[in-house]
Structure 1
Amino acid sequence: MKNTKDLIRVINLKYNTLSKGQKRLAAYILENYDRAVFFTATKLGKEVGVSESTVVRFAMGLGFKGYPEFQKALEELVSKRLSRMEKMEVTYGHNSQSQLLENVLTSDMEKIKHTMEHLDAKAFELAADILIGAKRVYIIGLRSCAPLASFLGFYLNMILDHVLVIDTNSTTEIFEQMMRINSDDVIVGISFPRYSMRTLKALEFANNRNAKVITLTNDIHAPINLYSSCNLVAKSDMVSIVDSLVAPLSVINALVVGICMKQKNKVIHNLEELERIWNEYQIYNNDEMNYLGNHLMEEFGPGE
């Protein structure tokens, strides 16, 4: 089914052609679509009292390729009718605090698993190579993505030269900071729904200057991928008032580790130099210094 806007109308039109179990599903969804959207096929079947296979056949009978496509149509329907707080109430409203903790952590684990199974390994390795080979690295992420950009910038600054996390207070300042970007450079754009127009414009500017563009977002068809040559896709959602960005953070962790492993000697040199500076200027106490030193040796081994 290409057009999911008329899902309720389609269910109503096909109701008389459905089996008894499928009619029970249809009735439940028409009355509880705001809850059904968060159910797996198995959970929806248990809720209604039918088998998982009946749920799948129901979705296909409506014209969908399978349950995931049907669920996406439900998501589009709900997104137009529920506020964030209402979505959070539907998902977590009946949970105790312990259940809430378990459900949120389980949901985040599922997002990491989904990302691990679907992330393009070639794109991931290409991103690491591009970052290593760039003269300058620019990083941009706005609103809830700003901590991700800051985290990536913090660690890349330890292992690469000339890394700049773009200050995003105003559109004018963004372009001023990117004024010298060129074909020797790369920009990493991080954007998740709701997508930032300022991030999109920054990537367009970089692309027009022939800089390489790496994106980290939630969908291969996300707007910022229009200008990217390397797309990293990580699962996220906005069910609650808090954006779930656990999977993108894991991808960033993996990217930093991947870069470290590709140029161990340089990383060890940089970190040993940082440790010397920290020690000279008493940035950390001795216990912390010893821990850091031992940790570095365990991670990378002695320098060659």
Structure 2
Amino acid sequence: MENMDLIEHIQQKFPRMSKGQKAIATFIMENYDKAAFMTAGALGRTVGVSESTVVRFACVLGYEGYPKLQKHLQEIIKNKLTTVQRLNLMEGLEADKIIDTVLKMEINNLKTTRQDLDINMFKNVVDDLVKARRIFVIGFRSSAPLAQFLVYYLSYIFESPQLITLGTSDIYAQLVHVCHEDVVIGMGFPRYSNQTVEGLRFAKRRGAKIVTITDNKISPLYELADNCILTKSDMNSFVDSLVAPLSIINALIIMAGLARKDYLVENFSVMEQVWREKNVYAKHDFDFMHKDQQGGE
């Protein structure tokens, strides 16, 4: 049932449900953005049934319990929620509650990402990058800063990684020369950008190896990937959580840098000299580091 639309599944089961189960089903179909984040007890009180009825409802749909149903509902609807619906999820909360909720979700995203991470697959991604002739990175909308950050650091580790942009040249023209020797990295989170998906699909047809960074197995980026790094991005509001994805990207950059250490050290040595000559960084930063190295105050 993983790839089935949950709302459609509920509709199919609806005629054979009890009166109480139908009340739950109706509420979920009409208010899925709220139901996905309600406990079994809260959902039961809202529709006027017992918590045990809510649990049995989940079993009728084929789940082991309500938490499994809730998790699946959250994953499926994330890409369906409009920005306004996502904004409403934290409406009415006090400032301290909003801060606590956001930080707890980010901590949970990091923990879950680490628990579920396939280390061998992660190593395979690094190997793919090291062996690639060229590297292309695609990330649009809220994922654009992640793509830019990744390309910025990869440019010190590899020769001319290319950021695919939505500029004067369309994404297909920028990818037209990719081949089986190249790696294309795509990243996307709910709501997934069609342009990212289409760019990856085009690159895959051209024979490139596809690496994706996304949130779960029902993501359209997952099915296109030769290797997919899954990282949680849950946030019950209109903003996208990029903490765990950025942490994964940092780890990827560091591992790639260590694999190409000699090349990286050579590049940084050159750039450090240029930065000093061109006063790229504020002078007191260098003064501070110099004093620190000399044991100065």
* TM-score (norm: length of structure 2): 0.78
3-state SS of 2:237 partner: coil
Matched, 1:183 2:180: yes
User: Where do 5+ consecutive residues of structure 1 fail to align?
Assistant: 296-304
| Separation (CA, whole Å) in 1 of partners of 2:90 and 2:128 | 42
Per-residue deviation, 1:122: 1.7
Q: How does 1:145-184 map to 2 (within 5 A)?
A: 145-169=143-167, 172-184=169-181
Distance 1:250 1:196 in 2: 21
**Residue in structure 2 matching 1:193, options 187, 190, 197:** 190
- Identify which range, 194-203 or 136-145, moves more after superposition: 194-203
AA in 2 matched with 1:88: L
Partner in structure 1 of residue 94 of structure 2: 96
1:232 aligns with 2:229: yes
Question: Is 2:136 aligned against 1:138?
Answer: yes
- Matched with 1:109 is 107
Task: Show the counterpart of 1:38.
Answer: 37
Deviations 1:110-169 (A, max 9, x none): 122221111221221111111122222111111111111001011111222121112223
Q: CA deviation at 1:185?
A: 1.8
Offset of residue 95 of structure 1: 1.1
Q: State the 1:287 CA deviation.
A: 3.2
Contact 1:187 1:211 in 2 (8 A): yes
Quote the Cα distance in structure 2 between the aligned partners of 1:202 and 1:81: 21
Aligned equivalent of 2:211, options 214, 229, 233: 214
The 1:105–1:79 alpha-carbon spacing in structure 2 relative to 1, beyond 3 Å, is closer
Q: What secondary structure does 1:283 align onto?
A: coil
User: How has the CA–CA distance of structure 1 residues 122 and 45 changed in structure 2, closer, same or farther, with 3 Å as cutoff?
Assistant: farther
1:11–1:62 contact (8 Å) kept in structure 2? no
Please give the alpha-carbon distance, in whole angstroms, between the structure 2 residues aligned to 1:272 and 1:133. 24
Percent identity over the alignment is 36
Mark the CA change 1:177 to 1:42 in structure 2 (over 3 Å): closer, same or farther.
Answer: same
Q: Report what 1:301 is aligned to.
A: none
TM-score scaled to structure 1, two decimals?
A: 0.77
Matched, 1:7 2:10: yes
Aligned letter for 1:112?
A: L
| Long gaps (5+) in structure 2 | 293-297
**Residues 28 and 35 of structure 2 are in contact (CA less than 8 Å); yes or no, is this contact kept in structure 1?**
yes
What code does the residue aligned with 2:208 have? A
Cα root mean square deviation, aligned: 3.9
Pairwise CA distance, 1:286: 3.3
Q: Say if 1:84 and 1:238, in contact at 8 Å, map to a contact too.
A: no
Does the 8 A contact of 2:105 with 2:235 survive in 1?
A: no
Q: Establish whether residue 223 from structure 1 lines up as the match of residue 220 from structure 2.
A: yes
The whole-number CA distance in structure 2 between the counterparts of 1:162 and 1:249 is 21
Corresponding residue for residue 257 of structure 1:
254
Match of 1:119 in 2: 117
* Secondary structure of 2:170 counterpart: helix
Return the alpha-carbon distance in structure 2 between the equivalents of residues 8 and 181 of structure 1: 44
* 1:266 positional shift: 2.7
What letter is aligned with 1:256? I
- Please say if residues 275 and 293 of structure 1, whose CA atoms lie closer than 8 Å, have aligned partners that are also in contact: no
Deviation at 1:46, TM superposition (A): 10
Shift of 1:23: 11
Match of 1:299 in 2: none
Matched to 1:108, the amino acid is E
Residue 211 of structure 1 and its aligned partner are, at CA, apart by: 2.0
Q: 1:151 to 1:26 in 2, by over 3 A?
A: same
Shift of 1:73: 5.5
Task: Report the CA distance shift for 1:292/1:145 in structure 2 as closer, same or farther (over 3 A).
Answer: farther
The answer to whether the Cα contact below 8 Å between 1:137 and 1:164 also exists between their aligned partners in 2 is yes
CA distance in structure 2 between the partners assigned to 1:119 and 1:294 by the alignment: 42
Q: Is the 8 A contact 1:278 1:284 kept in 2?
A: yes
2:295 maps to none
Once residues 102 and 92 of structure 1 are traced to their aligned partners in structure 2, the CA distance between those partners, rounded to angstroms, is 12
Distance change (3 Å), C-alpha of 1:290 and 1:127:
farther
Whether contact under 8 Å (2:150, 2:249) holds in the other structure is yes
